[in-house]
Amino acid sequence: MSDLPIDIFTIIDLIIMSMLLVVGIALVRLNNLFAVVMLYGVYSLLAAIWFVSLDAVDVAFTEAAVGAGISTVLMLGAMLLTSREADPTPVLRRWTSFLIVAATGAALFYATLDMPSFGDAASPANSYVGLQYMHHTISEIGMPNVVTAVLASYRGYDTFGETVVVLTAGLGVMLILGIGVSGGQAAPSAPEVQSKTAKKSKDVSVKSTENHHIVLQVIAKMLIPIIVLYALYVQFHGDFGPGGGFQAGVILASAVILYSLIFGMEETRRAIPPRFVQIGTALGVLIYGGTGIVTLALGGKFLDYNVLNAHDPVHGQHLGIMFVEIGVLVTVASVMLAIYYGFAARYRELKDQDW
């Protein structure tokens, strides 16, 4: 309730939005794929900051972990399999795309004319079902983070579907690229990958424990347990603050990817065999769906957590949400690893033939 016509948050929003616009335009105009991947990371991070400013902390956290974090790593992995430069787009196609995007934008602008103003408490989105969630969550589910309550219980079935979407993406990568269940010889570790332009033949012959990486290895050994611990914190703190299975799964996977970047693919495969990852992708969905089957067996409807505890429905909700979040964690972490393994397996294949 300040007297100023524009408050500080609006200014911050405007600055972030204009930065998003600039990054977006740069993304479209660049042909260098490495720069594009990096700018995507920047874009996601900016978007995450903007979401924080809009008070959508859970969304911001997911955007930062998935969009800016692991996507960038996976995109870099994918980029290694292709060239660093994109072919320039033909002029005609460029203009057609521009026209389509402009028309879409115009339609959205047209819609804004009748939109309720931002943060309007009387708008339908803020006053109807959204408000009911706010009122009911404490008595029905008993946890302070309404986002988690909506995501895992009220609309838990949607989240089940989303978990299956993640699994399907992983299945796609495993089917099309394979994740090297058959195993094979040592894969190069990432620092060697970076130096591929220089002395490839020498790098492949040396062990990855070469003293060049000693600093990285020491620090990584210190960090990886902390990252795993943080993932578990995010997983189990989701009831109270931002967090949950999706973010935790991504963070857990990133710990393994860090390990693999520094200690090599071979070591990682020994620690977490591809078949294990493959089963993990399916297992998470089964844990989620299994919770639903248990509620059916106990006489409730699918995913009705109230029946999990006959005396205290709220406790039942807590249990149910915990189980399904574990399911999400297992599937998301496994799928991220499966995608990473898919690219890494591919890279070795290429190396044998062409590099």
Partner 1 sequence: MSLMSAISSISGLRDLLPHAAALVVVIPLLAGPIAVILAKARLAWLWSVLVAAAAFGLSLVLLGTVLGGETITYEMGNWPAPLGIIYYVDSLNALVISLVSGMALLALLYGWPMVEREIEPKKQAMFFGTFLICLAGLIGVAITGDAFNVFVFLEVSSISTYVLVAMGAGQNRQALTASFNYLILGTIGATFFVIGVGLLYMATGTLNMADISRLLADGDNDRVVRAAFSFIVIGLGLKTAMFPLHTWLPNAYAFSPSMIGVFLASTATKVAFYTLIRFLFSVFHAGAPFETAMFDYVLAPMAITAMIVCSVQASFQPDVRRLLAYSSVAQLGYMLLGLSMGTVAGLSAGLLHMFNHALMKGALFMAVGLATLGLGVIQVSEMRGMGKTMPLTAAGLSIAGLSLMGVPLTAGFVSKYYLVIAALERGWWWAVAAIVVSSVLAIFYIGRMIEAMYLQKPPSHGDDPVIVVRSPILAIVPLYILVAANIWFFFDPSVPKGLADSAATLLLGGGAP
Partner 2 sequence: MIEWAPILEVLRHGTAGAFMLVGALFMLIGSSGVLRLPDFYTRIHAAGITDTLATVLLLAGMMIEAGFTQTSAKLALVGIFLFLTSPTATHAVANAAHKAGLKPRLGTVEPPHPRDVDLNEEKS
Nearer to partner 1, 102 or 229 (CB): 102
Residues 226-255, one symbol each (x = binds partner 2 by CB under 8 A, - = not), give: x-----------------------------
CB 56 → partner 1: shortest distance, Å?
A: 14
Give the C-alpha separation, 290 to 284, whole Å: 9
Residue 190 near residue 262, CB atoms below 8 Å = yes
Residues 112-171 that bind partner 1 (CB under 8 A): 113-116, 123-130, 132-133, 136, 153-158, 160-162, 164-165, 167-169, 171
Task: Judge contact between 345 and 180, C-beta under 8 A.
Answer: yes
Judge residue 57's burial from the number of C-beta atoms within 10 Å of its C-beta, 0-12 exposed, 13-18 middle, 19 or more buried.
middle
What phi, psi does 32 have (nearest 5°)?
Answer: -80, 115
Distance CA 182, CA 312 (A): 49
Does residue 107 touch partner 1 according to CB under 8 A? yes
Identify what 223 binds: partner 1, partner 2, none; CB under 5 to 8 Å per kind. partner 2
Fill in the per-residue mask, 177 to 216: x = in contact with partner 1 (CB under 8 A), - = not in contact.
-x--x-----------------------------------
DSSP state of 106: H
Closer to partner 1 by CB, 98 or 214: give it.
98
Choosing among partner 1, partner 2, none, which partner's interface includes residue 194 (Cβ < 5 to 8 Å by kind)? Answer: partner 2
For the bound state, the minimum distance from the C-beta of residue 276 to partner 1, rounded and expressed in Å, comes to: 12
198 binds, among partner 2, partner 1, none (CB under 5 to 8 A by kind): partner 2
Hey, what are 332's tokens? 């998301």
Query: Do residues 316 and 307 make contact, with C-beta atoms less than 8 angstroms apart?
Result: yes
Asked if 330 is part of the footprint of partner 1 (rule: CB under 8 A), the reply reads no
Q: Using alpha carbons, select from 290, 299, 295, 284 the residue that is nearest to residue 165.
A: 284
Q: Which does 236 bind (CB under 5 to 8 A by kind): partner 1, partner 2, none?
A: none
Site pattern 170..209 for partner 2 (x: CB under 8 A): ---------------------x--xx-xxx----------
Question: Residue 320 to residues 60, 82, 145, 210: CA-CA distances in angstroms?
Answer: 25, 44, 15, 48
d(CA 341, CA 91): 37
Looking up tokens 């991220």, which residue turns up? 336
Residue 307 contacts by C-beta under 8 Å, 6 or more apart in sequence? 295, 298, 299, 300, 316
| String of contacts with partner 1 for each residue 257-296, x by CB under 8 A | ---------------------xx-xxx-xx--xx-xx--x
Q: 176, 222, 311, 353: which one contacts partner 2 (CB under 8 A)?
A: 222
How many residues sit close enough to partner 2 to count as binding (CB under 8 A)? 13
Closer CB to partner 1, 258 or 338, in the complex: 338
Q: Which of 329, 349, 339, 172 is nearest to 249 (CA)?
A: 329
Token couple for 326: 């574990």
Told to check if 21 binds partner 1 by CB under 8 A, we report: no
Question: Under a CB-based contact definition with an 8 Å cutoff, are residues 66 and 51 in contact?
Answer: no
Neighbours of 352 (CB within 10 A): 10
Q: What three-state secondary structure class fits 198?
A: coil
Residue placing its CB nearer to partner 2 in the complex, 216 or 307: 216
* Residues engaged in binding partner 1 (CB under 8 A): 104, 107-108, 110-111, 113-116, 123-130, 132-133, 136, 153-158, 160-162, 164-165, 167-169, 171-172, 174-176, 178, 181, 278-279, 281-283, 285-286, 289-290, 292-293, 296, 300-306
* Residues engaged in binding partner 2 (CB under 8 A): 191, 194-195, 197-199, 212, 215-216, 219, 222-223, 226
